[in-house]
A and B are shown apart, each in its own frame.
Chain A
Amino acid sequence: MIDPLSLLLDVQNLSVSFRRYQRGLAQTNLNVISDLSLTARAGEILAVAGASGSGKSLLAHAILGLLPANAMLSGVMRYDGQPLNAVRQKQLCGSEIALIPQSVTYLDPLMRVGDQARGAEKSAERMERQREVFRRLELPLPSERLYPFQLSGGMARRVLFSTAIISDARLIIADEPTPGMHLSQAMEALSILRELADAGKAVILITHDVDLALNVADQIAVFYAGTTLEETPAADFAAGPDALRHPYSRALWRALPQNGFEPIPGFQPYPEALPDGCLFGPRCELKTAACEQETPPMRTVRGGKVRCVHAA
């Protein structure tokens, strides 16, 4: 089914927790990502979709090695078949793996955007490449001499996108690139990602907007309370609840505007108070005693992966 050669990033059972010291020496661990698994393939867009506040940005930070010093990480990450450890993250970030950040605050307010798009590397080729990418993104040439505060929202977004394209990275992680945008702007942003994927890049699109992601994504990873509950081809999401495997995915589907806009009762658990067993348990209609016994393992069901004991 899947060409193993195209597999670029493979994350298995990733957990991230923050060590926190409370009064005195009492130490607690805050689990922000637990047992998360996902795979990103060259030529595809994987949308990591889930409500805000579910720790999606931390996933990007974990892959890029940007977690703060008090973060503890377990699980396995492999990039291009090799373990992705701190040393390799340092080597690969910026050249092989690129981040597209979410807002203009990720640009230095006192540096011209052309310089920022090129990054620390200084060479004539780099300059040429930056201009070429700016042209491709329809950024007028003089805009390279502007400062971030002088950019319109759309230009700022394209400058942020340009950084990833200029680097020619093979894995691109776009962290919430669309919030606050008009539909047309958002679609334009997503179409750039689609082009990148079609050019052979692996793209991870982190978003809270399933609906929008469905337009361009090949795979959807449903993210909930710091873990992935289901990994499914985007086509199954389009097909409807019967094609989906996890109760939360189905609820998400029914919550889409075109499918009845049905809100999901309850709320996502806080990292401070995660439920035992299945993380979705407290909101699940199908819950049985078995669900609370242990965290359901990721299983392959009908060509997708799902973390639910009752999925079939």
Chain B
Amino acid sequence: MTSLQTLRRLGGRSGKQLLRVATLLLATTVVAFALVSLSPVDPVQQYVLGVGNVSMEQRAAIADYWGLNDPPVQRYFLWLSALLRGDMGTSLLYRQPVAVIIRERFLNTLALMMTSWLLSGLIGFTLGCVMGLRRGRWLDRVLRALCLMLSSVPTFWLGLVFLLIFSVALGWFPIGLSRPIGVANADVTFGQRLHHLALPALTLSFISFASVALHTRQKLIDVLESDYVLFARARGENTWTIMKRHGFRNVILPALTLQFASFSELFGGSVLAENVFSYPGLGAAVSAAGLNSDVPLLLGVTIFSTLFVFSGNLIADILYGVIDPRIREERPHGQSNRD
């Protein structure tokens, strides 16, 4: 198959993907908007809490200014048309443009998520391979019990336990935030950032590494019991050779896909982890926005997280096509005369 054909196929696929992401965005924003509209929290009340003495007339003026008296459908379309012009609106809570908030916080969240993503991927894959190779033995049983236990522990609880042990009792890690207090942003060193990142990232990675490990274990067992591994053994290949030649090759693909498709859980987990560790990322912002009925911020982050999760799935999809020869290469017609 020529690269031109590949390109054409990818082109056709990306058109479809674009349509999918547009409808997905529309749907998620509508749902998010409907949920905040139904919320009993009055954004004006939340706003004036921080301002102090505000008369009823002033409140009404604020509500009017924010357009809270308009029908919800009209408000939604106002927001949408502004968005299409590139304006994500202004956060009621932080009194800053939503785009600025997202830009600032996204880097924090991205650092957190990527670190924990790598951690959970590496630990999960390694553990899964160890369990698969030792299947049925005591090491496998112990690790599997551990994984099953971990996958049923709530993140925020685990975060609190880590906080208590490593930050409060042992003092190894800071208690919160993404950098030391009282240090200007420009002066924060990479080491300091990492130091603040470590514990939340570890907590977050604990959500998914157990499932990665269990999945990898099962997949590896399937591979080791396959006909082709039996044949490899018949040809005198030892376990390590079999792992090198057939094991990793056949296990890494589903593991990678799973890992990229886990972006949604990662984002959900980051909301909890960031709140426990007072880590100033998007997750903390979105829960604040929800609790205070900050519609523009909430919708802004919704769009952003939808795009984020979607791109994870898209990468998984594309990776499959690039790595898996059964998708990458065409079935030749009859006798092949390629290359």
Residues of chain A touching chain B, judged by Cβ–Cβ distance below 8 Å, are: 64, 66, 90-95, 98-99, 101, 103, 105-111, 119-120, 140, 142-143, 145-147, 149-150, 152, 163, 167
Contact = CB atoms under 8 A, between A and B. Distances in A.
Give the most central of B231, B234, B241, B331: most A CB within 10 Å.
Answer: B234
8 contacts: A106-B230, A108-B249, A109-B228, A110-B326, A120-B237, A140-B335, A150-B336, A152-B334
B246 A163 contact: no
Contacts of B334: 152
Contacts of B226: 105
A140 B336 contact: yes
Contacts of B230: 66, 101, 106
Nearest to B338: A142
Interface in B223-274: 226-228, 230-237, 241, 245-246, 249-250, 253
A149 B328 CA distance: 12
B237 A110 contact: no
Nearest to B332: A150
A163 to B, nearest CB: 7
A104 to B, nearest CB: 9
B87 interface: no
A167 B249 contact: no
Given A106-B230, A108-B246, A150-B332, A90 B236 contact: yes
Contact of A110 (B236, B324, B332): B324
Q: In the complex, which range does the number of interface residues on chain B fall in? A: 20 to 34
B185 interface: no
A146 B324 contact: no
Contacts, number: 88
B339 A142 contact: yes
Interface of B: 226-228, 230-237, 241, 245-246, 249-250, 253, 324-326, 329-332, 334-339
Given A93-B234, A94-B234, A109 B227 contact: no
Contacts of B324: 110
B126 to A, nearest CB: 21
B235 A99 contact: yes
Contacts of B228: 105-109
A105 B246 CA distance: 13
Nearest to B229: A108
A181 B323 CA distance: 32
B336 A109 contact: no
Given A98-B235, A106-B231, A111-B245, A145 B250 contact: no
A119 B332 CA distance: 24
A110 B336 contact: no
A253 B227 CA distance: 33
The 6 closest A-B pairs by CB, nearest first: A94-B236, A94-B235, A106-B231, A99-B234, A105-B227, A93-B236
Given A94-B234, A108-B245, A147-B325, 19 more contacts: A91-B236, A93-B236, A95-B236, A101-B230, A106-B227, A106-B228, A107-B231, A108-B249, A110-B249, A110-B253, A110-B324, A120-B237, A142-B339, A143-B336, A147-B326, A150-B329, A150-B330, A152-B334, A163-B235
Given A99-B231, A110-B324, A142 B245 contact: no
Contacts of A167: 235
Contacts of B235: 93-94, 98-99, 119-120, 163, 167
B325 A110 contact: yes
Contacts of A147: 325-326, 329
B336 A142 contact: yes
Contacts of B233: 64, 66, 93
Given A90-B236, A106-B231, A147-B326, A111 B246 contact: yes
Contact of A145 (B245, B246, B326, B338): B338
Contacts of A94: 234-237
Contacts of A152: 334-335
A95 to B, nearest CB: 6
Give the most central of B233, B249, B324: most A CB within 10 Å.
Answer: B233
A91 B336 CA distance: 37
